[in-house]
Amino acid sequence: MQIRRYIPTDETGWVRCRVLSFLETAYYDNVLKEKESYENPAIELVAEADGQIVGLIDVEYEQLERAVCSRGNGLGGMIWHIAVHPDYGRSGIGSQLLHEAEKLAIEKGLNRLEAWTRDDKWVNNWYEKNGFVKVDSYYHVFMEGEKELNKAMKSQIPYLHPVQAFAHYTGNDVDKVNETFLRTHECMCFEKYIKT
């Protein structure tokens, strides 16, 4: 297995790896058809084994404080994507990708990494095992069907009938939101300070 910088010809393998790795998480429906590009510089690494992309990490980083990250002082990097192909899971590839990204982040003068993820216990445990601390959260709320949508919204346009919606809940009555809607996920911010 080799960790190296992402190159444009990796895009198909990158997308496949990300889609397959997300299927067994709370982000199962967050499907991308192409690799994201970033407004700011980014550390983009892949793990390659057996002629295919089996892991990836993308960290968009700041050159101006708070241009990418939502908290902290100094320059940080946002982990937008980290994934390991399910056939290669539990072999340390994710941690190796993170370690390599951290080395490059330090070279770029960053003092911390930030990552937002949903409430998959094993994912959150992985972040904590790798030195991240949960520092913030809010809720992702998915509304589907007339019954759920009518509790939250009405169309102002005649003959337009919403059938599904996605919202952020930042309030304190989480129990009521969880009782009202079938699919909610706590979206958590993990942060790690790195040595510079």
How far CA 42 is from CA of 23, 64, 100, 109, in Å, comes to: 25, 14, 13, 13
2-134+189-193 placed in CATH 3.40.630.30:
yes
Decide: pTM greater than 0.85. Answer: yes
CA quadruple 112, 124, 93, 21: dihedral sign: negative
| 3-class secondary structure, 37 | coil
How far CA 139 is from CA of 4, 25, 70, 172, 188, in Å, comes to: 35, 16, 16, 10, 8
Question: pLDDT tens across 137-147, in order?
Answer: 999 999 999 88
Question: pLDDT tens across 25-48, in order?
Answer: 999 999 999 999 999 999 999 999
Residues of the chain with CATH 3.40.630.30: 2-134+189-193
Which residues, listed in sequence order, are joined to residue 42 by a DSSP beta bridge?
60
Distance CA 141, CA 24 (A): 19
